[in-house]
Structure 1
Amino acid sequence: MYLGAESWPDLETYFAEESLALVPVGSTEQHGPHLPEGTDHLIAESLARTAASQSGYLCTPTVNIGVSSHHRQFHGTMWVDPPAFREYMESLARNLTSHGIDRIIFVNAHGGNIEHLREVGRRLHKDGTAYAIEWMWDQSIPDLVDDLFEVNGPHGGPKETAMIMHINNALVHENRLTDARDNGLVDWGPKTGRQFGARTFFDSIENTDCGVLGDQTDATPQKGEELFEAATEQLCKLSEWLAEQDDEELLPHEHV
């Protein structure tokens, strides 16, 4: 069920019977020369709406802009500062609780949002308002991602490229995949951008001229479909698990 397509009497029926909502969250930022700037929010929305359709739970409209200032040197990147993002997401979540929602899954597709969504979850949990958790699609299927791609890349790499190929292949500039690989950073790892244990970069452009990591030429629509179906299955299972939890188990524990 998609909230934006329903009338209020039908939503009243849902809120009377269910207390869980999926909130897709992404970004609008550079994803290299080959992918659209909406890559993250397109992935988040597609996963959330598909999982909602399969599970029967509610999906809200998508939050399209996140914490992305580390990509600001690339044309078109949009962002909000972290405090503003956290306040907005907390306010949005509290809005949902006014209708009876007390379990929220932030269906996230942007790494820069992770710590801030988890902080919002901590705030809501601390005062017993709601149980809100952050879910990142690729972290739900790490073994499959590793199996499909020799060098998957955390940003604009083959896993995101394959996902967009599956969701809307017309948005992928396939004639630029080789340029994205050759002008990006393929050989990255835990030591990339670090010296003596310290992280020595702040912005994406300091590591990669075109803004992406990994080997984009390894992506195919078929791999994207496999990723999408596996991640959707994980999200549906998470939704069912959360919906079945006892209220008391989700509240903060008393001091020992």
Structure 2
Amino acid sequence: MYLADEAWPDLESYFESESLALVPLGSTEQHGPHLPEATDHLIAEAFAREAADRTGYLCTPTVTIGVSGHHRQFHGTMWVEPPVFREYVASLTRNLTSHGIDRVIYVNAHGGNVPHLREVGARLRQEEVAYAIEWMWNDSIPDLVDDLFEQNGPHGGPKETSMIQYLEPALVHDDRVRDARDGGVPSVDAAETVKHGSRTFYDAADNTENGVLGDQTDASAEKGERLFEAATDQLVQLCEWLDEQPFEDLLPKDHV
């Protein structure tokens, strides 16, 4: 069920009987010369809506702008400051609890959001307001990602390229895929910005001139479909597991 498509009287029965919601989050940021700036939020929304369709759980509208200041040197990247993002997501989640939701899955597709979603979830749990957890699609299927790609990225690489080739092929500049590979770097290690154990980079532009890493020519829509199906299965299983848990078991343990 997609919340924004429903009239309010038709949502009453869901909130009376269910307590779980999926919240897709991504970013609007550069993904190299070949992918749209919508890459992350398109992927997040596709997973959340598919899982909602398969399970009947509620999917909210997508948070399309995240913590992306580290891509700011590239045209069009949009971002909010981390404290603003955290407060926005926390407020949005509290809004859901006012309708009876007490467990939330942040269906996330942007690495820059991860620590902030974890912090929000921890705070809401400590306050015993809601149990909110972050889910990142590629982290749910690491073995498959490694099997499909010799060098997967991490940013704008073949795994994300494959996903958009599958989900939104018209938005991929296929004629620029080779240029993306040749103008970027294979990996953070290849950028040589880790010095004596210190991550000396802060921005994507410190590592790669065109904003991407990995071998984008290793991507395909067929691989994207395999990734999407495998990760969706993991998300569905997570939904079912979380729904089965008594809420009191999800709260912080008592002091020893």
Q: TM-score range by the shorter chain?
A: over 0.9
Q: Deviations over 1:107-147 (max 9, x none)?
A: 00000000000000011000100000000000000000000
5 Å-filtered alignment, 1:100-115, equals 100-115=100-115
- Offset at 1:190? 9.0
Equivalent residue, structure 1, for 2:251: 251
Q: Distance in 2 between matches of 1:102 and 1:197?
A: 41
Equivalent residue, structure 2, for 1:17: 17
- Residue 103 of structure 2 aligns to which amino acid in structure 1? R
5 Å-filtered alignment, 1:159-238, equals 159-189=159-189, 192-238=192-238
Q: Distance in 1 between matches of 2:86 and 2:190?
A: 28
- Offset at 1:187? 4.3
CA contact (8 A) 1:67 1:112 kept: yes
- Offset at 1:191? 8.3
Q: Distance in 2 between matches of 1:107 and 1:255?
A: 31
Q: Residues 190 and 133 (structure 1 numbering): CA distance in 2 closer, same or farther, change over 3 Å?
A: farther
CA contact (8 A) 2:191 2:208 kept: no
The two structures have a TM-score, normalised by structure 2, of 0.98
The two structures have a TM-score, normalised by structure 1, of 0.98
1:74 paired with 2:79, answer no
- Offset at 1:192? 4.2
- Offset at 1:189? 3.4
Three-state SS of the structure 2 residue aligned to 1:28 is coil
**Residue ranges of structure 1 left out of the alignment (5+ in a row):** none
Q: Distance in 2 between matches of 1:113 and 1:15?
A: 28
Q: Residues 99 and 192 (structure 1 numbering): CA distance in 2 closer, same or farther, change over 3 Å?
A: farther
- Offset at 1:252? 1.5
Equivalent residue, structure 2, for 1:136: 136
Identity across aligned pairs (percent)?
Answer: 70
- Residue 30 of structure 2 aligns to which amino acid in structure 1? Q
Q: Distance in 2 between matches of 1:117 and 1:190?
A: 29
Equivalent residue, structure 2, for 1:93: 93
**Residue ranges of structure 2 left out of the alignment (5+ in a row):** none
Q: Distance in 2 between matches of 1:22 and 1:45?
A: 10
- Residue 218 of structure 1 aligns to which amino acid in structure 2? D
Q: Deviations over 1:150-200 (max 9, x none)?
A: 111110000000000010100000000000000001144398421111110
Equivalent residue, structure 1, for 2:32: 32
Report runs of 4+ in structure 1 exceeding 6 Å deviation: none
1:62 paired with 2:59, answer no
Q: CA RMSD in A?
A: 1.0
1:42 paired with 2:49, answer no
- Residue 186 of structure 2 aligns to which amino acid in structure 1? V
- Residue 176 of structure 1 aligns to which amino acid in structure 2? R
Three-state SS of the structure 1 residue aligned to 2:74 is coil
Q: Distance in 1 between matches of 2:192 and 2:130?
A: 38
- Residue 23 of structure 2 aligns to which amino acid in structure 1? V
Q: Deviations over 1:87-107 (max 9, x none)?
A: 000000000000000000000
CA contact (8 A) 2:191 2:207 kept: no
Q: Distance in 1 between matches of 2:87 and 2:155?
A: 26
